[in-house]
Structure formats: C-alpha cells, structure tokens
Structure 1
Amino acid sequence: MLRELPVREVMVSDVLTFAPGDNVMDAMRTMLVRDVDGAPVVDADGTIVGLLSTADLIVEEARVHLPTVIALLGAYIELPSSKKQFDRDVEKALGSTVGEVMGDAAPTLSPDDTVEQAATIMHEQGADRLPVIDESGSLVGIVARGDIVRAIVNEQDAGK
C-alpha cells in the first residue's frame, strides 16, 4: 500500500546540491540543465544549511529596481540615473551567492519514513521538496511532490 511505502522507494538519490558560496547565476544555469526547480544547500561537512529554489531566485530578481520612466509631452523618458541603478541591481543579483538568496532548511525525512508522512509534512509546511538524511545526518536523497504523484500514478497503473 502506498501510504506504508518507505520514502527510500520514491526518493531521488542523485541529488543536486549547492554550497553557500556558489554563484547564483551558475546555480541557475545548473538547475536549468538538470531540469530541477530546487536543491539543498550543504556546508563543507555535508550538513544541510538551506534550500535553493527557483522561487528564491525570482524573489532576488524582484529586488531589482526598474528604471524610472516619466511621461513628458506625450513622450516617455527614462532617467539615466535610474538606468545605472537598474544595471547595478541586476549585476548584484546575478553575482550574489547561493547563501544570500537561499531559503531556510526544510524539515528532513529518514529513508524509513513513509510516503504518507512525507506528503503530510509537505502539506503542513508548504514544502515542494524534502531532503532525506541518514542516521548520521548525511544527505542521501530528496523527495519532491512530483515523486509522490509518480508513486500514486504507478500504484494506480499497477492495480489495473
């Protein structure tokens, strides 16, 4: 039964991770190439210190101040000083580190926790993904909402 299925059966064990000092632009590129929208951030010891998601990157970009444009006699004029500020903001946002934009570390799961427990935590915490750690605290996998949906569909298909 799906609710009793251990997380280890649905988790992804080849987990993309970032370090707090990694460049945000490099992280964005890597996530696009790997087709993921989030990844754990780990310190030098492999301890999870946060989660990076595309939402964090979008929020960072939203902090960029758009150039000020004014309407004068039916024409639109962009103020040069605001254009310079915009360029500086974009450069800063894209040059910042993962540690500066990452979200807090999510609750973690054990490989022996059930899919039902994972789904409950995701729902209660509003989390899209949960890191899976072993007894020593090392990252061994990650479970995303899509992994749980896939397990549900596979169970339904197997029952037909």
Structure 2
Amino acid sequence: MPREMLVREVMTTDVVTFTPEETVEVATRRLLDRDVDGAPVVDAEGRVIGMLGSDDLLVQETQLHYPTVFSLFGAYLELPSSHRRFEAELRRAVAAVVSDVMTRDPVTCGPDDTLERAATLMHEHGVSRLPVLEGSRLAGIVARGDLLRALIAPTER
C-alpha cells in the first residue's frame, strides 16, 4: 500500500446509511440488497452517530432463547411455554430499531488521512470499515477491501 495514498482516493462515496429510527428488519434487508456488511447510522443533521453491521445483527440474533426441545421415548417434544417465549422475543427483535443494536461512537477517519492511518485504526479498534468524515459530515466509507485493492493494484487507481 503506497504510504502517500489518501483515503479519498479509495473510499466509497455512494454510502448506504441508516437512521436510528429504522427497524432492524428494514435495515437488514437494505444491507442484503446492497450487498454490504455494514453502514453508518446518521442523525437528522447528517452526523454519524453509530455503525450498523451484520455482526450487530448476529449478536441480537444470539440473544434469542430458542424453544426447549427434549427427547422422550424417541419422540422430540417442544415445551409450549418455551415456544411462546421464542415467538415473543422474535417479534420484539424484528421490531427493534437500529439505535437499539448499533455500535455507538464509531471510529472514523478523514479523507486526507493516509491509507496506512486507516489500516492502523481498523486494526487497533477491531473494525472492518470506517466512516470518512469531512468536518462533521459523512463524506464516504473506507473498508478493508478498499485497502487491499490499493495494496495489490496501486497503479490501477
């Protein structure tokens, strides 16, 4: 990765964003439809207040209590109360809003930061994408894939 390359040279500017009020179901569909793993959450003024990624959605999924099933004389039986609890939790999970599951106060970078700086931030904070802010406004997003493409094909850009 050329040390002098800047984030602005590789970032994506057509960024999927979410609002804190969007339902998790709608947000999940948009992530899948756009084939992205995560996106910034912005408030009414366009400030980045969080990140929503598939990892946030999977953590929410693991908090569901699946129905209790047991085997009795070779037959598998499900406890009715366990199934009702699961259905109620599933309805709550689907109705949850983005602000309930997003990662707050995300690590960010600027368009004039070097790719080396962006890679360092991703590594230090264990994230795979960074919102790129110009002032307090979202200018784009840079992901590990963008850094890898710059690393293996620096002359293509």
Partner of 1:81 in structure 2? Answer: 81
CA contact (8 A) 2:49 2:106 kept: no
CA contact (8 A) 1:106 1:127 kept: no
Q: CA deviation at 1:22?
A: 0.3
Q: CA deviation at 1:94?
A: 1.1
Q: CA deviation at 1:140?
A: 0.4
RMSD: 1.3
CA contact (8 A) 2:52 2:102 kept: yes
Identity fraction in percent: 51
Gaps of 5+ in 1: none
Aligned positions, number:
156
Distance across 2 between alignment mates of 1:76 and 1:104 = 42
Q: CA deviation at 1:74?
A: 2.8
Q: CA deviation at 1:105?
A: 2.6
Question: Runs ≥4 in structure 1, deviation > 3 angstroms?
Answer: none
Distance across 2 between alignment mates of 1:111 and 1:74 = 62
Partner of 1:147 in structure 2? Answer: 146
Letter in 1 for 2:149: R
Partner of 1:132 in structure 2? Answer: 132
C-alpha distance after superposition, 1:21-45 (max 9, x if no partner) = 0010110100101000100001101
Q: CA deviation at 1:70?
A: 2.0
Q: CA deviation at 1:96?
A: 0.5
**What is the TM-score of this pair, normalised by structure 2?**
0.95
Distance across 1 between alignment mates of 2:132 and 2:37 = 17
Gaps of 5+ in 2: none
Distance across 1 between alignment mates of 2:11 and 2:52 = 18
SS at match of 1:4: coil
